[in-house]
A and B are shown apart, each in its own frame.
Chain A
Amino acid sequence: MQRSMLAEKVAHLHRELHQMGMESLQSLKSTLIAIDDEDVERSKQVIERDATINQYELSINDAIVEVLVTQQPVATDLRTLTAMMKVTADYERLGDLSVEIAKSNLHRAPFHFSDYEKGILLEMGEYCIAMAEEAMEAFHDLDLERVMRIEQSDIVVDDLYGRAIREFILNGHDERAVIQLAYIARSLERIGDHCTNIAEQVMYVKKGVHFDLNRPTIV
């Protein structure tokens, strides 16, 4: 009886977490559309809706603590709940980084990014969106196939980031824009890392061992 209650609570938390992931993903998509369209109003909305994501983090973590206290889970249940706490932090950061991108769009407003520069950012952005979607599904379904795809995508995003920075510095058409371009590229690279963190939590829940996917290398 007690255990079916625990299973129910874990399932409910999975749904809440998925919902939080959807909110973060929506912010990411929206902030990138705003870059593409040079839409300042949309960027402001991204900044405003971040409070909703932060609220999700608090309420989900409170609910997790309650389950830990009242149900005293062990084994897979315990790993799932501790992993969920970390995943809420990753989704929250995903929201924050979307806000950072939105702020860069506001700072850009007096001038423009070239289509070429936007193209580089949006290519990174597409990978990040795909990674965030994969991460959400991977954690929900504990799907190791998706974990492997996330790991591969993160390698691509890291590579794109390096190329983007070089490109902006060498060929940036407006020096005032370069710093914002670099900030945005950096935020996207960090989003890739947070998706990889979520993938690592999938590994932990599934295998009970901590993994470090796509370890950073010194170039």
Chain B
Amino acid sequence: MQAVLERELVEQQWTKEQQEVDLCLDVTDLSIFYGPKQAVKNVSMPIKRHSITALIGPSGCGKSTFLRSINRMNDGIKGFKAEGNILYDDVNLLDANIDPVALRKEIGMVFQRPNPFPNSILKNLTLPLKEHGLKSKAKREEYAETYLKQVGLWDEVKDRLHESALSLSGGQQQRLCIARTLAIQPSVLLLDEPASALDPIATAKIEELLLKLKEKYTIVLVTHNLQQAARVADDTAFFYQGEIVEFTDTKTFFQSPKEKRSEDYISGRFG
């Protein structure tokens, strides 16, 4: 039986290694400091193209810091320092000569609380397009329709495009924010607890949307909702005290985690 055990484990390992992996982001040895405090410790994570990667872990474990460092949202924080590599198409996103504005066009971010502009629904889409240089008003409105359709919001808002975006429900506002991010055509979507302020129906809509969007985008998702990670993510990383305890495919992670700390966390025994 021992022989069977060893053979099967070797076979599984082999199968895993044989699979060709198309990486969108390749993070290696990333360390992040806020002054003397190290928030992320030597983290490496290959993020597959057109997949959803969930980052989970207790509050303060470094997962949001990690996420925000991918599109350089931490740069302005006093004492912030990052070491290591975040390779995106062979370019290290941490390089000093990277233009954060251009980077954020390529790697968009959606936050926990929906933050639409206090303008009309339509303007929430057309304004960023204008800012990014799309001169034709007709084109901007055409794009607005395309992306409102992509997030499944068009039918709900097509007759009230000129009403304030703040009149929408929380879930609609969040989908509007996702549409706004998509409108500037990024390749990667970073989402920081995008459904934690939403009710279960709005949450389900966001999750269905993410599963649809991963066909076109690479998605990295921070979530406190373990079931959400289990439902939507292809891979899951468990952060604890700034380190990655375990990073593997989601099915393995929730069914048979290798690390005891992962098992204890997802079973609700600590954290």
Which A residues lie within 8 Å of B8 (CB)? 209, 211
B9 touches A209 (CB 8 A): yes
Q: Which residue of B lies closest to A214 (CB)?
A: B1
CB distance from A211 to the nearest CB of B (A): 6
A74 touches B267 (CB 8 A): yes
B227 touches A75 (CB 8 A): no
Could you tell me the distance between the alpha carbons of A42 and B189 in the complex, rounded to whole angstroms?
70
- How would residues 213 to 256 of chain B score, 1 for a CB under 8 Å from any chain A CB and 0 otherwise? 00000000000001100100000000000000000000010111
Could you tell me the distance between the alpha carbons of A78 and B267 in the complex, rounded to whole angstroms?
10
Interface check A112, CB cutoff 8 A: no
Contact among B1, B5, B267 with A73 in the assembled complex (CB-CB below 8 Å): B267
B256 touches A3 (CB 8 A): no
Could you tell me the distance between the alpha carbons of A208 and B252 in the complex, rounded to whole angstroms?
9
- How would residues 1 to 35 of chain A score, 1 for a CB under 8 Å from any chain B CB and 0 otherwise? 01100100000000000000000000000000000
Dominant SS among interface residues on chain A: helix
- How would residues 255 to 271 of chain B score, 1 for a CB under 8 Å from any chain A CB and 0 otherwise? 11100001100111100
Could you tell me the distance between the alpha carbons of A207 and B268 in the complex, rounded to whole angstroms?
20
Interface check B96, CB cutoff 8 A: no
Dominant SS among interface residues on chain B: helix
Could you tell me the distance between the alpha carbons of A147 and B5 in the complex, rounded to whole angstroms?
13
Interface residues on A, range: 20 to 34
A76 touches B267 (CB 8 A): yes
Could you tell me the distance between the alpha carbons of A151 and B5 in the complex, rounded to whole angstroms?
13
Which B residues lie within 8 Å of A77 (CB)? 267
Which B residues lie within 8 Å of A212 (CB)? 4
A74 touches B230 (CB 8 A): yes
Q: Which residue of B lies closest to A77 (CB)?
A: B267
* CB within 8 Å for A75 and B263 given contacts A3-B268, A208-B255: yes
Q: Which of A165-217 contact B (CB under 8 A)?
A: 207-209, 211-213
Among B8, B12, B252, B256, residue most surrounded by chain A Cβ atoms (within 10 Å): B256
- How would residues 4 to 15 of chain B score, 1 for a CB under 8 Å from any chain A CB and 0 otherwise? 110011001000
A72 touches B227 (CB 8 A): yes
Interface check A79, CB cutoff 8 A: yes
Q: Which residue of A lies closest to B12 (CB)?
A: A209
B1 touches A213 (CB 8 A): yes
CB distance from A6 to the nearest CB of B (A): 8
Which B residues lie within 8 Å of A211 (CB)? 1, 4-5, 8
Which A residues lie within 8 Å of B254 (CB)? 74-75, 78
Q: Which of A58-110 contact B (CB under 8 A)?
A: 72-79
Closest 8 CB pairs of A and B: A208-B256, A3-B268, A75-B263, A74-B254, A74-B266, A148-B1, A75-B257, A75-B267
**13 A-B pairs in the complex with CB atoms less than 8 angstroms apart:** A3-B267, A3-B268, A74-B226, A74-B254, A74-B267, A76-B267, A78-B255, A79-B255, A147-B1, A207-B256, A209-B256, A211-B1, A211-B8
